[in-house]
Chain A
């Protein structure tokens, strides 16, 4: 049984569908007057955040509390970490206090993998975003949102995303969302196209299981979902693109462009949105944009992950350790 969730690439199709189906169950809890399950009563979960991320932290916290876990929030800011304490010491200190699971957000790619595989601690590790590597619960909540909207809430149960055409637009190079989504969506049978200026695509991307395009307009009519990623304004100072205006003109989603999408197609955004940059207010506030829904779905999906990792249910049939990349040939 899988103990950690480090990378979306670690999930098999069956794992992913089980999580999505469980998340639908969890979503029903949110509709009740008392939004709480006793599943994780007496279990302690720490949200170990080395980077500020209020929305992800709150989403995990809501999920943990709805499952009745005891929650400790540990923000590295102002803590001993800023005084030079190592990740290892911090993790061991927390574990000594009896923590069952560590939800970790870290600026260094691979930090959750190290935490899970270095023998430093025994607790389950859930990656809440590491550097420019992975953000697997984001990919799961995105897939959950797509399945609900494109397949159906009930019709989707037990189903994957076979044949769905997903376009992801924006800063692929500095982002972890695109990496996680490409891995999971590929596992679920979707066809993914990444759209970005060449400067914001990593060298070596040719090995990813997706298509690459520099042309947003050509891709839109062939998309069932278009996911816009945040582009930080600072990037233009490092010559990734000339100006905000030019970026918006070539890669931003406005009303005219949205009209080129098929009628059923949705617009997604993991937030926070930079209105006027990658997305106009008109699109962000339209019915086709699922940004708010994604936030709600994030809680259900994270409840499902916590439930399956800590609740003792049979999570997966895979024998491999948690974080071996499925595309890794080694060993």
Chain B
């Protein structure tokens, strides 16, 4: 198999080094490597990271191929530096059987841009009433370990308790979309000063926080691990911090958009800012950044949620919730965490690769950049500055809140087990 020599790359942001890929693995890491016959990639001081892992992606296939497919979604992932994505279960049909998760898994393998690890639904049809066949999904070829009704909250305390208990048998984890349904009926945006003025139905922080508080206590009671999806409020941070201090096995994710954007943007009534959980206040944004820096929040996950143009080109109340994020995530993290001094590149590798792979048990991903490891790698031009142009996205959808916004950094190369999926910013 072919050899690739990456020359002068700052591995995890450290001193420039050379990295030799031989076939599917990293053969050597060191200074002044030279290998006959190897294809040379001049990194010129770019930052080399382990391939990114996204624990929260909506690939929409099967069922909503008009907004994304496994192919277009994994191309978007490769473009954004990802080598593994976890595909959420809210497809049509719902990924609540071994058949559906195997289909999604195989499509990912077949296209070869990025590993796709399906997430199984916790309950049949995401309806919150009856447990799906969690064991069958785990034992399928897809080997599901993460279960979530994302898009909907497992709000019944007994169902949640049983799910937490049940998946312990095979090391699974339940990822909760924390949203108390009664408190968020008709909710359109964060409840606060801006919603009062705009006359849009409020989504109060307490609707997220009360579920997280309940679930960490449930996890403690039954001795299970629980993962919190897209944590968005300062109060949620405090609860997770408390739970961790108590030794509860809880992990949490934050999305790039919640690290950058606030509900002030909703004043434009532009549905590109409509997302669930909603954009919060500046105070929340700062709390989330600090929590990601100090490890209270474990990972960044995109909640990449593609929607067709017509679902956003309408009045606010009629619009779909969600934003695409795979192709801008690293840039937003650089802007909010690295350029602000809150996190170094080793920290970014931890929050966007090591930890998410660990939570999701993604074999071969989130490994150190060292000899003998699978060659899942991402090369980032951190000095790049440019404005976001959705026309260049690989995703089938364009519902980004960053159009025209200047963001730092650009992924130039991605390797999936030694195979280049992105070269000089172009998909292979």
Contacts and interface: CB of A to CB of B under 8 A. Distances in A.
Do A and B bind? yes
Contacts of B264: 328, 330
Given A325-B267, A330-B264, A109 B196 contact: no
A196 B193 CA distance: 18
B92 interface: no
B275 to A, nearest CB: 16
Nearest to A172: B196
Nearest to A111: B315
A235 B33 CA distance: 74
Contacts of A153: none
A87 B199 contact: no
A140 B159 CA distance: 53
Given A113-B269, A325-B197, A328-B267, A203 B191 contact: yes
A203 B264 CA distance: 16
Contacts of A207: 193, 196-197
Contacts of B197: 179, 204, 207-208, 325, 327
A109 B204 contact: no
B191 A110 contact: no
B196 A134 contact: no
A134 B199 contact: yes
B31 interface: no
Interface in A74-131: 86-88, 106-111, 113-114, 117-118, 130-131
Interface of A: 86-88, 106-111, 113-114, 117-118, 130-134, 176, 179, 202-208, 325, 327-328, 330
Contacts of A202: 195-196, 202
B202 A203 contact: yes
B317 A108 contact: yes
Interface residues of B, number: 25
B314 A204 contact: no
A179 B191 contact: no
Interface of A is mostly: loop
Contact of A131 (B193, B194, B199, B268): B199
A328 B193 CA distance: 11
B310 interface: yes
B151 interface: no
Contacts of B199: 109-110, 130-134, 176, 179
Contacts of A204: 191-197, 202
Contact of A110 (B196, B200, B313): B200
A110 B315 contact: yes
A121 to B, nearest CB: 13
Q: Residue among B191, B202, B268 with the most chain A CB within 10 A?
A: B268
B192 A203 contact: yes
25 contacts: A86-B313, A87-B318, A108-B316, A109-B188, A109-B198, A109-B269, A109-B316, A110-B200, A110-B269, A111-B317, A113-B269, A114-B270, A130-B199, A133-B198, A134-B199, A179-B197, A202-B195, A203-B195, A203-B196, A204-B197, A207-B193, A325-B267, A328-B264, A330-B264, A330-B267
Interface in B244-271: 264, 267-270
A8 to B, nearest CB: 12
A117 B318 CA distance: 17
B314 A87 contact: yes
A185 to B, nearest CB: 15
Nearest to A87: B315
